[in-house]
């Protein structure tokens, strides 16, 4: 922010880094507040709701072109009440008005700009606008409201009808997915696979961790090697692509091309957390060293660049010095400046750099087209030379980057995303048998409970030293899931108990007792123009699908079949969509796998039970529950189970087989159960 700004608006008091980015615009921005629509009706002005997030490149572009322009600001200030919303703070507002944008234009994205009547009903929406077009829109909306209110009111009524239709919740169907429907579900999903580059066969290309989790579960449950092969292809291509930061670790949000080459350079905590879980689990199943390396580097990136000694920040910007990706790319001259001749040749071969640049404006994005063995052969070097050169080159290029202005940091802490990171650390601790990661997860859980769970209420945001904004279903669900992963990794009942407490409160706040569906917003929260539920799995899983998994696992741990039934019943709301569009309902697909398998769960008790649980985690689908207790436990799951020596109880639903005493015996039993369900 400028030291002596010409303009300052009400956003100067905001806690959100995104809102603060607009605090010195000449536009008279305000934050969303409870009295917004009363103000709009009192002033008889339309309202512009402009939604974005701090790491959004096109949000920065529109700010520079439009919101910093004096003439444009004058139009906005004269004719509208202008509201800035951070979509990460208020996903409820974003979801509602994004629906309106998609309804009116057939597309969405950020920045999201929606013009509303003084009662909140939308009448016009779009995403990025260049300044001339934006000025035209401002004048047209003003003219419509000033001279043809009836037309505006009529259109708003039609839009609201469409929004209500989009968000109508009907009672769930009673039919469950059967085993015979699983192969068609997989085959339908596979129609969208890119068998050359991995991932979805479309551009831009987003990592979709929930799809890879589904495929790993599908492989373990059905033995379908094609599902595993495609997962390997996707994880390998992403790890070698420009979407991955080969110097500092961490994945960018997506690639703008179909080959994972040119990223949109922002780095989000939620992407990296979910990908850490996927790569960690893929390592446990395949024992491929690359997966452990990538997961470890991603954890280190999060600790180095998004961690504040207690929890994790949200994101790193795509831009620095006003240029997208400038921090991460290198010209050939810059490579020559910081590397020796031998190191330069190595870097060019390994990272596919050229003298004229492999990207735009003579810049090079670091990516790997060749495997290490091919690099050895191309340069005629041995493994020890390769390793030494790799370490030296990466360190020198990182040092060079450190001299550059850094991308902006969004330093707010979001409960849901930290729940995903809690799960990532717990998963890495379990799959890598690494107590350091487990300890980090425990520290994170303790901080969240102390700072974001206050007076028996969960908050979504921690910023400027204080918690704020009541949590949404996403926060409850992701945190509870992370706690259950931590319970599986540590065996400590307190984490399962906290997950149960959160879930019981979520049932009270978010579940409709008539239909059984969970809404995204609390029953005692702010009323928007529609109350949304969140069913589709996108780059982050649907909050309802996450809660469904949590309910099923809690039903097992606490021996409460009613919770399990509450979770599986939610499948009835999405069965039709799941069978038609499985790629957008992948986490629901995992629940369908679990329900058809009958919920295999394993309880390990007595000395050595943690080691036994770690051995078995690679053969169990992740939707299954594996738990251990080295001594007596109060959790109902362990009632009546012996702890004098190692006992492993393999259970299907509410029926447990005779206990065995080695992990190998238990693995044979698990595989027999899976075979029976294929």
DSSP E strands: which ranges in 429-546?
453-454, 457-463, 466-470
The CATH number linked to 158 is: 3.40.30.10
Verify that 284 and 369 share a domain, yes or no: no
Verify that 313 and 422 share a domain, yes or no: yes
The residue written with tokens 């102390």 in the block is: 450
Bigger pLDDT: 56 vs 598: 56
Count the neighbouring beta carbons within 10 Å of the beta carbon of residue 342: 14
Q: Kindly list the distances between the CA atom of residue 439 and the CA atoms of 303, 445, 588, in Å, as whole numbers in the listed order.
A: 13, 10, 30
Tell whether 212 is covered by a domain. Answer: yes
Residue 48 has a pLDDT of: 98
Verify that 520 and 547 share a domain, yes or no: yes
The residue written with tokens 């390592």 in the block is: 283
Verify that 183 and 258 share a domain, yes or no: yes
What average pLDDT does this structure show over 59-78?
A: 97
- By residue range, what is the domain housing residue 371? 328-403
pLDDT tens, 404-450? 999 999 999 999 999 999 999 999 999 999 999 999 999 999 999 99
Q: Return all residues near 413 (Cβ < 8 A) that are at least 6 apart.
A: 308, 311, 312, 313, 314, 452, 461, 462, 463
- What sign does the CA torsion over 317, 444, 553, 227 have? positive
Q: Kindly list the distances between the CA atom of residue 24 and the CA atoms of 13, 70, 200, in Å, as whole numbers in the listed order.
A: 11, 12, 40
Extract the tokens encoding 511. Answer: 């579940």
Verify that 512 and 424 share a domain, yes or no: yes
Verify that 128 and 24 share a domain, yes or no: yes
Of 403, 424, 439, which residue is a domain's last?
403
Extract the tokens encoding 57. Answer: 């490149």
pLDDT tens, 492-508? 999 999 999 999 999 99
Verify that 223 and 148 share a domain, yes or no: no
Mean pLDDT of all residues belonging to the chain: 95
Residue 190 has a pLDDT of: 97
What average pLDDT does this structure show over 108-135?
A: 97
Verify that 82 and 18 share a domain, yes or no: yes
Strand partners, 457: 454
Residue 211 has a pLDDT of: 97
Q: Beta 47-52 vs 315-316: how paired, if at all?
A: unpaired
Extract the tokens encoding 394. Answer: 């990466």
Tell whether 340 is covered by a domain. Answer: yes
Tell whether 5 is covered by a domain. Answer: no
Residue 175 has a pLDDT of: 66
Verify that 454 and 547 share a domain, yes or no: yes
Report how far residue 638's alpha carbon sits from residue 492's, in angstroms, rounded to the nearest whole number.
13
- What sign does the CA torsion over 501, 505, 511, 512 have? positive
Tell whether 576 is covered by a domain. Answer: yes
Tell me which DSSP letter residue 457 carries. E
Verify that 590 and 606 share a domain, yes or no: no
pLDDT tens, 624-656? 889 999 998 999 999 889 999 999 999 988 788
Q: How many residues does the chain have?
A: 678
Classify 135 as helix, strand or coil. helix
The CATH number linked to 272 is: 1.50.10.10
The DSSP code sequence of 177-232 is: P-GGGHHHHHHHHHTTB-TTT-SBSSSSB---HHHHHHHHHHHHHH--HHHHHHHH
Please report which confidence band the pLDDT of residue 198 belongs to, taking 50, 70 and 90 as the band edges.
Answer: very high
Extract the tokens encoding 155. Answer: 């259109």
Q: Is 265 exposed, middle or buried (0-12, 13-18, 19+ CB in 10 A)?
A: buried
Report how far residue 141's alpha carbon sits from residue 149's, in angstroms, rounded to the nearest whole number.
10
**pLDDT more than 90, % of the chain:** 89
- Which segments of 109-201 does DSSP mark as H helices, in order? 131-147, 149-166, 182-190
Of 597, 615, 634, which residue is a domain's last?
597
What average pLDDT does this structure show over 99-124?
A: 96
Is the pLDDT at 172 greater than 70, yes or no?
no
Extract the tokens encoding 294. Answer: 């990538």
Of 573, 597, 621, which residue is a domain's last?
597
- For the chain, the domain total comes to 4
What average pLDDT does this structure show over 450-458?
A: 96
Instruction: For 339, list phi and psi in degrees, rounded to 5.
Output: -125, 150
Classify 28 as helix, strand or coil. coil
Extract the tokens encoding 3. Answer: 């030291």
Residue 4 has a pLDDT of: 80
Verify that 198 and 95 share a domain, yes or no: no
Verify that 287 and 427 share a domain, yes or no: yes
Tell whether 138 is covered by a domain. Answer: yes
Element (H, E) at 625: strand 625-629
Tell whether 470 is covered by a domain. Answer: yes
Report how far residue 647's alpha carbon sits from residue 86's, in angstroms, rounded to the nearest whole number.
51
Q: Is 673 exposed, middle or buried (0-12, 13-18, 19+ CB in 10 A)?
A: middle
Is the pLDDT at 316 greater than 90, yes or no?
yes
Cβ 555 vs Cβ 532: under 8 Å: no
Report how far residue 517's alpha carbon sits from residue 570's, in angstroms, rounded to the nearest whole number.
7
Report how far residue 116's alpha carbon sits from residue 156's, in angstroms, rounded to the nearest whole number.
8
Tell whether 171 is covered by a domain. Answer: no
Report how far residue 194's alpha carbon sits from residue 213's, in angstroms, rounded to the nearest whole number.
17
Tell whether 636 is covered by a domain. Answer: yes
Q: Beta 81-86 vs 47-52: how paired, if at all?
A: parallel
């Amino acid at each position: 922010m400028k030291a002596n700004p010409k303009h300052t608006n009400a956003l100067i008091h905001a806690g959100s880094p995104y809102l603060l980015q607009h605090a010195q615009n000449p536009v008279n921005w305000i934050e969303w507040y409870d009295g917004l629509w009363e103000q709009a009706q009192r002033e008889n002005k339309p309202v512009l709701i402009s939604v974005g997030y701090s790491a959004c490149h096109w949000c920065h572009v529109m700010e520079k072109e439009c919101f910093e322009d004096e003439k444009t600001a004058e139009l906005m200030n004269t004719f509208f009440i202008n509201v800035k919303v951070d979509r990460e703070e208020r996903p409820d507002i974003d979801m509602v008005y994004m629906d309106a944008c998609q309804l009116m234009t057939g597309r969405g994205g950020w920045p999201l700009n929606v013009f509303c009547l003084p009662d909140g009903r939308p009448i016009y929406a779009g995403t990025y606008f260049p300044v001339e077009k934006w000025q035209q829109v401002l004048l047209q909306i003003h003219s419509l409201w000033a001279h043809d209110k009836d037309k505006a009111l009529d259109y708003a009524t039609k839009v609201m009808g469409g929004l209500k239709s989009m968000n109508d919740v009907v009672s769930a169907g009673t039919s469950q997915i059967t085993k015979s429907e699983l192969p068609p579900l997989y085959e339908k999903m596979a129609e969208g696979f890119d068998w050359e580059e991995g991932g979805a066969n479309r551009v831009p290309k987003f990592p979709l961790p929930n799809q890879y989790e589904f495929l790993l579960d599908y492989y373990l449950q059905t033995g379908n090697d094609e599902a595993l092969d495609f997962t390997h292809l996707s994880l390998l291509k992403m790890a070698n692509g420009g979407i991955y930061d080969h110097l500092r670790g961490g994945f960018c949000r997506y690639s703008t091309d179909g080959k994972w080459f040119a990223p949109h350079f922002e780095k989000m905590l939620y992407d990296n957390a979910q990908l850490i879980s996927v790569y960690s689990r893929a390592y446990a199943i395949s024992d491929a060293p690359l997966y452990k390396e990538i997961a470890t580097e991603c954890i280190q990136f999060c600790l180095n660049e998004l961690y504040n000694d207690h929890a994790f920040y949200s994101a790193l910007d795509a831009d620095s010095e006003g240029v997208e990706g400038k921090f991460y790319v290198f010209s050939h001259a810059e490579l020559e400046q910081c590397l020796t001749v031998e190191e330069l040749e190595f870097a060019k071969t390994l990272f596919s750099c050229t003298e004229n640049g492999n990207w735009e404006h003579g810049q090079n994005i670091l990516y790997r087209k060749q495997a290490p063995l091919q690099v050895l052969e191309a340069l005629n070097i041995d493994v020890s030379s390769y390793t030494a050169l790799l370490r030296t080159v990466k360190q020198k290029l990182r040092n060079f980057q450190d001299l550059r202005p850094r991308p902006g940091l969004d330093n707010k802490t979001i409960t849901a995303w930290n729940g995903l990171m809690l799960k990532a650390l717990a998963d890495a601790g379990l799959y890598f048998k690494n107590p350091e990661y487990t300890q980090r997860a425990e520290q994170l859980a303790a901080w969240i409970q102390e700072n974001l769970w206050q007076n028996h209420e969960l908050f979504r945001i921690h910023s400027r030293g204080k918690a704020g904004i009541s949590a949404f279903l996403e926060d409850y669900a992701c945190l509870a899931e992370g706690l259950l992963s931590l319970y599986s990794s540590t065996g400590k009942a307190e984490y399962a108990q906290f997950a149960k407490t959160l879930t019981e409160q979520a049932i009270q706040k978010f579940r409709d007792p008539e239909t059984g569906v969970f809404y995204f917003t609390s029953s005692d929260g702010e009323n928007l123009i529609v109350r949304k539920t969140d069913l589709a799995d996108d780059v982050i899983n649907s909050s309802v699908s996450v809660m469904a998994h949590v309910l099923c696992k809690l039903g097992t741990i606490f021996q409460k079949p009613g919770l399990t039934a509450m979770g599986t019943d939610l499948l009835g709301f999405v069965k039709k969509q799941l069978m038609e569009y499985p790629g957008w309902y992948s986490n629901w697909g995992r629940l369908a796998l679990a329900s058809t398998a009958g919920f295999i769960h394993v309880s390990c008790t007595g000395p050595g039970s943690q080691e036994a649980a770690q051995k078995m985690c690679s053969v169990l689908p992740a939707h299954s529950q594996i738990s251990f207790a080295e001594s007596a436990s109060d959790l109902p799951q362990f009632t009546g189970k012996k702890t004098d020596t190692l006992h492993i109880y393999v259970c299907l639903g509410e029926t447990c087989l005779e206990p065995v005493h080695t992990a190998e015996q238990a693995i044979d039993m698990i595989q027999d159960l899976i075979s029976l369900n294929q």
